[in-house]
A and B are shown apart, each in its own frame.
Chain A
Amino acid sequence: MSATDSTLPRPRLLGRATVNAVVGLSVLYTLLPVLWLVLAAAKNRDALFGSDLLSPSGFSFSTNLGDLFAMEGGQYGRWYVNSLLYAVLGAAVGSLVSVACGYAFDKYRFRHKEKLFGLVLAAVMVPQTVLALPLYLMASEAGVVNTFWAVFVPVLFNPFGVYLGRVFSQGYVPDEVLEAARIDGAGELTAYVRVALRMLGPGLVTVFLFQLTAIWNNFFLPMVMLSDQDLYPVSLGLYAWNSSASVSPEYYPVVIMGSLLAVLPLILAFTLLQRFWRSGLTAGAVK
């Protein structure tokens, strides 16, 4: 493929085939491991170690599902509920907090605003592992180590959400609309809640999704903060079960089934909210 493409039809056809082959192989690379997870989740232990996933024998999807929720007195269900609580509540509160702050950065003027915004952006760069030990010490000082709050409060902090909130506010909320609301006698906060927040909808959903993914993926913080298995999120629980699997192989099928179920909420969220985050990504990327 070169500059001669437009004149010669043959290489162009060849080029088209190459392009499709490269993209097709990439899609196989991303899809096959997920497909393996789906197939492996339906197999019993012997079939799993037989590596022969496509044969119909050893099919035990429902048995695996039952085993998963029966294992260790139904721990998995508890972990799942915990993960949903951490992620959905955390992302809902966190995105509202971040977007409100981003909106304020966009619409109000005050001294040292850009310096303060620089601090917010700097916070994006700081690795979570750096904050973990001090957070743990602070939580133990406050007596909340090994509680729901020790994991829930730190994940609310989302500086990148503030950045996105500011970008969305610039893009979606025209200053004139705000001015009109003020002339109508609406207070500043009323104008934000009634007028601006509605226009910020797609942006809010994007920030929510980003944060939902981040919290659902969260592994390091719960590992540091929690010792009570009843408070574990799914990620940490599966990690614990996987370490048992090397000793007692009956854990393998449940870990695989548990992994499959843990993937579903995010896929569901991304599919349902597709319309919003696609536009949101564009705003984040073009800036």
Chain B
Amino acid sequence: MTATTGQPVRVPAPRAAAPADRGRKAARRRRLGACGVLMAPFFLLLVTVFLIPVGTAAYLSFFSDDQPGLGFGPERTVFVGLRSYAAVLTDPTFLGGLGTVALYCLIYIPLMVVGALALALLLDSGAVRLRAWAQLGLFLPHAVPGIIAALIWLYLYTPGISPVIDLFSRADITVDFLGVHTVLPSIVNIALWSNLGYNMVVFYAALQAVPREVIEAAVVDGAGPVRTALRVKAPLVRSSIVMVAMFTLIWALQLFTEPMLLSQSSPMINSRFSPSMYIYDAAFTRNNYSLAAAASVVLLLCTIALSYGVTRFTSRSAAVEEAR
């Protein structure tokens, strides 16, 4: 695939052409040339920071630096086949990380999609006062960088600083937001807080594009506001729901920033809490590149399989919906 940059400018094989055709051909060649110029910078980036790295990760996962003779001899790179994959997939800390992220996705994604869609439908219902202000307020966390969002919430989870814990303690309730069972919901909360408003705006924009006649027809047919929202509007913005679910999933699988920051304060989060943290730990703390590469490839395959699953699942449920 390294020849991608050349591809757009490829000119079809010359045929014996009538002289009248020549002008048009020259124009076509000029166009393809311009097309190549416009595409070249992006594809140069695609090759250098995407294709080659993915290829390198795959390559590294099959090779390993062997140090013969107690590590004194010269290092050589040897083919180890699937050994790194076996090591990753039998490593309880990696499997634990996968399990953590799976649980995280199961809590986070439904909450996010349902919450954002519900808020968008409420705002679209016309019953909300100060709609523009409400939207702005909900959207604000999107402008807060992920690490800062994690910082704010970390402080709100920290006893002594947090006014939330203070309030609870006044009511004689002790909460530990960073305990064994609470740390994952606490991370979900950070992600939800950061992205809820943004996804709400995406849904709201899609709802605005629903033709008004369709909604009026539903109202004439006697559908109440709730029924209109759930049975008419929501199915019409299905493509946005798929898109939001996909992006939320892809981001959720990379879970790194929030646990990395919380790990500074919570002993419940170890350095291999999520697959991304495992990769970081393997590559840059343990310097085991083949192990990190194998873990990367496994994470990549999981992402591709799950995203494919999301699109398939939603298109099938769409077909069921239509068949009804």
* Residues of chain A at the chain B interface (Cβ within 8 Å): 1-6, 15-16, 19-20, 22-24, 26-27, 29-31, 33-34, 36-37, 40, 48-49, 51, 53, 97-98, 100-101, 103-105, 107-108, 110-112, 116, 119-120, 123-138, 153-154, 156-157, 159, 162, 187-189, 192, 213, 216-217, 219-220, 223-224, 234-235, 238-239, 242-243, 246, 252, 255-256, 259, 262-263, 266-267, 270, 278, 281-282, 284-287
Within 8 Å CB of B275, what residues of A?
129
B82 at the interface (CB under 8 A from A): no
| B window 116-164: CB within 8 A of A | 118-119, 122-123, 125, 127-129, 134, 137-149, 151-156, 160-163
Decide: B299 and A134 in contact? CB cutoff 8 A: no
Decide: A125 and B250 in contact? CB cutoff 8 A: yes
A-B contacts, 25 of them at CB < 8 A, read A1-B225, A1-B226, A2-B224, A19-B128, A23-B134, A33-B149, A40-B155, A51-B160, A108-B34, A112-B7, A119-B46, A126-B50, A127-B300, A131-B57, A133-B283, A133-B289, A133-B293, A134-B54, A187-B30, A188-B33, A189-B34, A217-B147, A256-B151, A263-B143, A266-B145
Tell me the smallest distance from the CB of A210 to a CB of chain B, in Å.
10
B43 at the interface (CB under 8 A from A): yes
Whole-angstrom CA separation of A262 from B295 in the bound complex: 33
Within 8 Å CB of A116, what residues of B?
4, 7-8
Residue of A nearest to B33 (CB): A188
Tell me the smallest distance from the CB of B24 to a CB of chain A, in Å.
12
* Residues of chain B at the chain A interface (Cβ within 8 Å): 1, 4, 7-8, 10, 12, 30-35, 37-39, 41-43, 45-46, 48-50, 52-57, 60, 118-119, 122-123, 125, 127-129, 134, 137-149, 151-156, 160-163, 166, 193, 196-197, 201-203, 205-206, 208-209, 219, 222-227, 239-240, 243, 250, 253-254, 256-257, 260-261, 264-265, 275-276, 279-280, 283-284, 289, 292-293, 296-297, 299-300, 303-304, 307
Decide: B206 and A286 in contact? CB cutoff 8 A: yes
Decide: A285 and B243 in contact? CB cutoff 8 A: yes
Within 8 Å CB of A31, what residues of B?
137, 140
* Neighbour of A98 across the interface among B42, B160, B260, B265, CB < 8 A: B42
Decide: A126 and B303 in contact? CB cutoff 8 A: yes
Whole-angstrom CA separation of A27 from B107 in the bound complex: 21
Decide: A5 and B225 in contact? CB cutoff 8 A: yes
Interface-central residue, A30, A98, A235, by most chain B CB under 10 Å? A30
Whole-angstrom CA separation of A259 from B8 in the bound complex: 45
Whole-angstrom CA separation of A29 from B153 in the bound complex: 12
Residue of B nearest to A156 (CB): B45
Given contacts A20-B128, A129-B296, contact A157 B265 (CB under 8 A): no
Residue of B nearest to A31 (CB): B137
Decide: B39 and A242 in contact? CB cutoff 8 A: no
Tell me the smallest distance from the CB of A34 to a CB of chain B, in Å.
6
Given contacts A6-B224, A15-B225, contact A127 B299 (CB under 8 A): yes
Decide: A134 and B155 in contact? CB cutoff 8 A: no
Decide: B56 and A137 in contact? CB cutoff 8 A: yes
Residue of A nearest to B297 (CB): A130
Within 8 Å CB of B10, what residues of A?
110-111
Residue of A nearest to B296 (CB): A130
Whole-angstrom CA separation of A239 from B280 in the bound complex: 16
* Neighbour of B205 across the interface among A132, A246, A282, CB < 8 A: A282
* Neighbour of B307 across the interface among A22, A125, A136, A138, CB < 8 A: A125
Whole-angstrom CA separation of A188 from B33 in the bound complex: 9
Within 8 Å CB of B142, what residues of A?
213, 270
Within 8 Å CB of A134, what residues of B?
52-57, 60, 293
Whole-angstrom CA separation of A103 from B226 in the bound complex: 41
Interface-central residue, B12, B37, B137, by most chain A CB under 10 Å? B137
Decide: B166 and A51 in contact? CB cutoff 8 A: yes
Decide: B144 and A34 in contact? CB cutoff 8 A: yes
Whole-angstrom CA separation of A211 from B46 in the bound complex: 16
Whole-angstrom CA separation of A233 from B283 in the bound complex: 22
* Neighbour of A19 across the interface among B43, B53, B127, B283, CB < 8 A: B127
Residue of A nearest to B138 (CB): A30
Tell me the smallest distance from the CB of A80 to a CB of chain B, in Å.
13
* Neighbour of A33 across the interface among B153, B296, B304, CB < 8 A: B153
Within 8 Å CB of B153, what residues of A?
33
* Neighbour of A192 across the interface among B32, B38, B222, CB < 8 A: B38
Decide: A239 and B137 in contact? CB cutoff 8 A: no
Tell me the smallest distance from the CB of A274 to a CB of chain B, in Å.
9
